[in-house]
Structure 1
Amino acid sequence: MTNVDADTGVLAGEPRMLIDGELRYTDSGALFDVEHPASEQVVGQATDGTVTDVERATAAARRAFDESDWSRDLDFRYHCVNQLHEALTQEQERLRRIVITEVGCPVSVSGSQIESPIAEVKHWADHGRNFDYLVDTGIHETQLGPARRKIQYDAVGVVGAITPWNVPFYLNIAETVPALMAGNTVVLKPAQLTPWSGTELGRIIAEKTDIPAGVFNVVTSNANEVGAALSADPRVDMITFTGSTATGRAILAAGASTVKKTLLELGGKSTHIVCDDADFTACLPMAAMFACVMSGQSCILSSRVLLPRSRYDEGLEILKTMMEQFPVGDPWTPGIMQGPQISAMQRQKTLGLIQSGIADGARLITGGGIPENLPTGYYVQPTLLADVDPASEIAQTEIFGPVITVTPYDTDDEAVEISNNTIYGLSGDVTSADDGRALNIALRLRTGSVTTNGHSFFGITSPFGGTKQSGLGHRNGDEGYREYLNSKTIGVRP
């Protein structure tokens, strides 16, 4: 174990991956660097796994599924997942420091990245324990006479989980724990920028649970071909992936030859429709906060704000004031709510899209550059762009930075049309003094989820997923658990 740096709080994580119950380095001993985005300094390393390593992990997961009782012993799975919950709770503060180190997530808002996913482990243990894996649907008339039908839910098999860097520990839990509780075995490939949020999970499972060797594996790598190999491997029955739409398309293509089951949560370009009867002083400060609190690195962020033309200037002034006052800085400092972008590349992408928006006619209200008081670290000023053409690049491209674009509209119909006119359909917001009006607009949006009047759609008990090119399938809720199961219909004597 490495120690916390006394001055910065930075913490290096587990450098080894977990394959077939063994914490190990890749055969060559190759490592890749992990950088702290708030200091731009290398703070540790992780083993640089290869295609051979992912093949070993897949072989171990295949054997564990085919030859062990893991998929059939519900009580044992419940015991193991509860052990994992207890172990993660014990190591909660270490995990928090690792996430802050890797991601630059401010300590003040780290609860959603640490406490929430740890609580979800316990939820999935209980959900899986109480789930009905054999359902009697009653007697049905057929051409051959009456038959009673039962539906059996079986584990899919080997699940390959490829996760992103924005909320890495949360998504490592969300993509693997329900899969494990449902009886699957797992190979986790964490993002290159945040390997420790995966390797720490592997270490804790190996050291503090009775999960058998091969049931859970972690392969870290700085090479894209490792994830591609996992997606294409015929021994893998299912791929679950969260990340960009472009990578999601590549994963679909890689799994096509084996018709692999695929669960995808992809990009978003969501809108917040603010109606002319809304309380601007209540809803717009929250819109600005949500745009900045994770440095804009959130797929469900409603980064496009649509304001009624009749109150356009009023809304812009409220957003401007909030974004100029938003606390940006060192993620280790209490009270800071926006940290750095994850990397130099991500910051450059964000700044480049801002300039593209200005070139296309958007008006820069505030921000647009690097904070003068933060010359070190990959920081971007909270940025507000007005008069944004809904067909422009910045209105159509997921930015993943602390940027709000604002477009005026005249009617509810026009607002709905603007909202629906992208390739994405992940989430959205509607605010109106009239709950019925807000609901009517929400019902017309081609998106997987909508928050109306601040009442959030998101939670572990409700399905979450995208439409159009924002994804396939769902996480959370009963629907999300069933994604990791195959259904089998059986006809029996009445």
Structure 2
Amino acid sequence: MNQLPDALLCIDGEMRPAEGDKKFDNICPWTGEVVGQAADGSASDVEAAIASSRKAFDETDWSTNHAKRIELVTKFAQLLRENRDTLMQIARLEAGSSIGAAAFAQVDNALTCGEDMLKCFEEIEWQEDRGVREFMGGKSKRTVYHTPLGVVGAITPWNVPLYVNIGKVYGALLAGCTVILKPAPDTPLMGSYMGELGIQAGLPKGVLNVITAQDPALAGEMLTRDHRVDVISFTGSTGVGKRIMENGAESLKRLFLELGGKSVNIILDDADDFAMKVMTGMAVFHAGQGCAMPTRMLVPKSRYEEAVGALQMAYQGFAERWGDFDAPDQVMGPVISKRQHDRVMGYIELGQQEGARLLAGGKSRPDKGNGFFIEPTCFVDCTNDMRIAREEIFGPVLCVIPFEDDEDAIRIANDSDYGLGGGVHGSVERATAIARRIHAGAISVNSGMSITGDLPFGGFKQSGMGREWGREGIEDFLDTKVIAVGGQ
């Protein structure tokens, strides 16, 4: 495997090392070995990034020059597209992505969704004429303006770093905000490389700053507490999201929080090709490390044994079709880190203790290499009160739960702290009626694509607040101002 270049900080239009040239190791999930180093940003580095972003927003025309923004962000997107091969390499070595997953969700889908957002820019109404109204003895001509919120702290996760980075950075920049991007310490280079390409695209100094750091909390704590940062856009765990709300309360920061998920995949008894729908529901893509990935499969009791048999066949067929770095058709590699490996294995042990039946997998696989490999795992005979069915595992673990009828399926689906995504398979009218009653932000009916760059994405309940992507993903970075001119 090749080495990766060092990830540098991007501050005030320059790529530079951290204070004192401090660095930390970038670990490859496939091997557990160092494949590069990253700048270990200090408090002083974060301070410099905040000051730079604040100055760029307050003292330049970035927030008001719509034509300039769309021109430069479009050029930025073109440079990312032209450097696809480099992005693929980073996703594979840094995020542990298989070739199939990298070519789809990690890179190509990220680039395409970003380009969708550029088209959404045309839909934004920057001002609206609300007409003249006579009130309290005088006439006023009223105009509503939509203006950028200010400096955005964008805190992103390690599972699909380019995709989430693009969603936050494009949305904020197109709205007219300036951005401080803080990538996860497990995937520092993807964010750093975006900063480098942003400079090449001609983004003005301070419009996009990138801070990498080994300490997962240092930069985030500073960004979420500093009164000069107006918005926090965060994707990650629900626990950290709650911490961000606490930190931001003092300055009443605007928040976008895309948090945990425990999404359902409901297979109705009248689904076309029932067995195939069940078999394709394995939670194996990118080793199950997706926030909206359906990891609770609900199947009717009337066809439960058929479903279990189909899953057993599917997992047997998939048993050795994963974990090969060089296989172009594979979609599952290792989990991101030793810490995550141990966490997932702890949940697998817990599932057996809770009484779920281990149908497939369940083991660590050191024979695949020195990285962090866990077998595709499936539990059946689950109940929705088990922790493995209620808590986000973020690994290749599927829980299968039987249901009595449609009302029971809806009850189980909504009996969750989360509400991010999900799917329903069955006759269209029936499946759509069920989808409308599931408390989640993005529901797929019969494999419909509910998550694309031109659609809003976000969750209900403890899956978060606000929306990313689509027109709404730009509008969430805008505020509303009314100006009324008297004597008209």
Is residue 340 from structure 1 mapped to residue 325 from structure 2 by the alignment? no
* Deviation readout 1:17-67 (Å, 9 max, x if unpaired): 111112111122111111111111111110100121111100000001000
SS of the counterpart of 1:450?
strand
Give the conservation status (yes or no) of the 8 Å contact 1:163–1:171: yes
SS of the counterpart of 2:21?
coil
Query: Matched residues, percent identical?
Result: 38
List aligned pairs for 1:82-481, cutoff 5 A.
Answer: 82-110=74-102, 111-129=104-122, 131-138=124-131, 142=135, 147-206=140-199, 208-223=200-215, 224-279=217-272, 280-288=274-282, 291-326=283-318, 327-371=321-365, 373-432=367-426, 434-481=427-474
Tell me, in whole angstroms, the C-alpha distance in 2 between the residues paired with 1:247 and 1:463.
Answer: 22
Where do 4+ consecutive residues of structure 1 move more than 4 Å? 138-148
Tell me, in whole angstroms, the C-alpha distance in 2 between the residues paired with 1:312 and 1:347.
Answer: 30
Question: Which runs of no fewer than 5 residues in structure 1 stay unpaired?
Answer: 1-7
**TM-aligned CA deviation for residue 140 of structure 1:** 5.5
**TM-aligned CA deviation for residue 139 of structure 1:** 5.2
Question: Which runs of no fewer than 5 residues in structure 2 stay unpaired?
Answer: none
Match of 1:59 among 17, 32, 51: 51
Tell me, in whole angstroms, the C-alpha distance in 2 between the residues paired with 1:172 and 1:378.
Answer: 24
SS of the counterpart of 1:241?
strand
**TM-aligned CA deviation for residue 213 of structure 1:** 0.9
| 1:422/1:76 CA distance change after superposition, 3 Å | same
Give the conservation status (yes or no) of the 8 Å contact 1:14–1:200: no
SS of the counterpart of 1:262?
strand
Tell me, in whole angstroms, the C-alpha distance in 1 between the residues paired with 2:29 and 2:461.
Answer: 33
Structure 1 letter corresponding to 2:351: G
Provide the aligned length of Structure 1 versus Structure 2. 482
Structure 2 letter corresponding to 1:169: L
| 1:137/1:317 CA distance change after superposition, 3 Å | farther
Tell me, in whole angstroms, the C-alpha distance in 2 between the residues paired with 1:332 and 1:185.
Answer: 39
* Deviation readout 1:74-104 (Å, 9 max, x if unpaired): 1111221122122112211011101110011
SS of the counterpart of 2:358?
strand
Tell me, in whole angstroms, the C-alpha distance in 1 between the residues paired with 2:113 and 2:35.
Answer: 29
Greater mean alpha carbon deviation, residues 111-120 or residues 160-169: 111-120
**TM-aligned CA deviation for residue 398 of structure 1:** 0.3
Is residue 18 from structure 1 mapped to residue 35 from structure 2 by the alignment? no
* Deviation readout 1:341-395 (Å, 9 max, x if unpaired): 0011111111110110110110011101123641422111111101112111111
Give the conservation status (yes or no) of the 8 Å contact 1:11–1:98: no
SS of the counterpart of 1:365?
strand
Give the equivalent residue in structure 2 for 1:32.
24
| 1:275/1:125 CA distance change after superposition, 3 Å | closer
C-alpha RMSD of the superposition = 1.6
TM-score scaled by length of structure 1: 0.94
Give the conservation status (yes or no) of the 8 Å contact 1:38–1:330: no
**TM-aligned CA deviation for residue 429 of structure 1:** 0.9
